[in-house]
Structure 1
Amino acid sequence: MIIKIDFESETPIYEQLRRQIIEGIAKGELKKGEELPSVRQLAEDIGINLHTVNKSYNILKEEGYLVVDRRKGTMVSDIMPKIDENYINNLKEEIKYIIADAYCRGMNKEEFLDLCEKYFHSFVKK
């Protein structure tokens, strides 16, 4: 999996990294149990501060996407996080903002739903 950081983006680097790792898992580019590079190695590989990588890894660990083993390092969890009430509430807030932004820019319902469907299907395993 190739990580691409946009240093000009308003999205914080740790969040870009977090999102790309989750997408990598969803697309099957990162397999359950697969070992990830060390914090130091990944920071060096993509040219960012190791504390930024550490922050992303820690958030992903808290969310249940990653596990840390002192002997083996950081790995993709064998058990993916489950949907809970907190997740649903956060998802509603994100969706509400994204829809409002798209609406203000002139996107209609059909265009929005077509785009959602396209991206949803990009993660469905065939």
Structure 2
Amino acid sequence: MFIEIKTNSSVPIYLQLAHQLIEGIVRGELKPGDSLPSVRAFAADLGMNMHTVNKAYHYLEEKEFIQIVAKSGVFIQPNGIPGATVIEKQQLKEQMRPLLAEGLVLKLSEEEMVKMLHELVQDIKEGKP
């Protein structure tokens, strides 16, 4: 799996890393039970600070996408990732709301935004940036 970090992005590096790992899970490049590199090894491979990788891992652990097992390693959730809970769906909806409002202010139609959403889903599944 190829990881690309954009240093000029407004998105923090740890989130860029976490989001790319999530996309790898979506595409099946990372499967339940697969191990991820240690924080130290991943940071060295990516040329970034260990604390950044650690923060990304803890973000993913909090979302229950990965499991960190002391002295054993980091694994994609071995039992698979369950579907979204009602609370998680509500949180995603709340996160999308400001973006949709911004689109409406910019005079995008609902149809245009739905089309953009479909395109993004396809890009994620196909591994396009």
TM range (shorter): 0.7 to 0.9
Question: Which residue of the partner structure matches residue 20 of structure 2?
Answer: 20
How many equivalent pairs are there? Answer: 124
- 8 A contact 1:35–1:72 mirrored in 2: no
Partner of residue 53, structure 2: 53
Q: In 2 relative to 1, CA 72–93 (structure 1 residues): closer, same or farther, beyond 3 Å?
A: same
Q: TM-score, normalised to structure 2's length?
A: 0.85
* Runs of 5+ consecutive residues of structure 2 not aligned to the other structure: none
Asked if residue 33 in structure 1 is aligned to residue 37 in structure 2, the reply is no
Distance 1:86 1:12 in 2: 25
What is the aligned-residue RMSD (CA, Å)? Answer: 1.8
Q: Match of 1:76?
A: 76
Q: CA deviation at 1:88?
A: 2.0
8 A Cα contact 1:26 1:123, kept in partner: yes
Cα distance between partner residues in 2 of 1:102 and 1:24: 28
- Check conservation: 1:63, 1:81, Cα contact below 8 A: no
Label 1:114 to 1:81 Cα distance change in 2 as closer, same or farther (>3 A): same
User: What is the CA distance between 1:65 and its match in structure 2?
Assistant: 0.5
User: How far apart are residue 76 of structure 1 and its match?
Assistant: 0.4
Counterpart CA distance in 2 for 1:4 and 1:104 is 31
Give the TM-score of the pair, scaled to structure 1.
0.87
- Structure 2: how far apart are the matches of 1:3 and 1:81? 25
Distance 1:116 1:62 in 2: 26
Residue 11 (structure 1) shift = 0.7
Which whole-Å deviations, capped at 9, do the CAs of 1:70-94 have from their partners, x for residues lacking one?
Answer: 3431010122144223312211111
Note the alpha carbon deviations across 1:9-51, whole angstroms, 9 max, x for none: 1111111111111111011111111111111111111121100
Match of 2:97 in 1: 96
Q: CA separation in 2, counterparts of 1:30 and 1:19?
A: 13
2:87 maps to 86
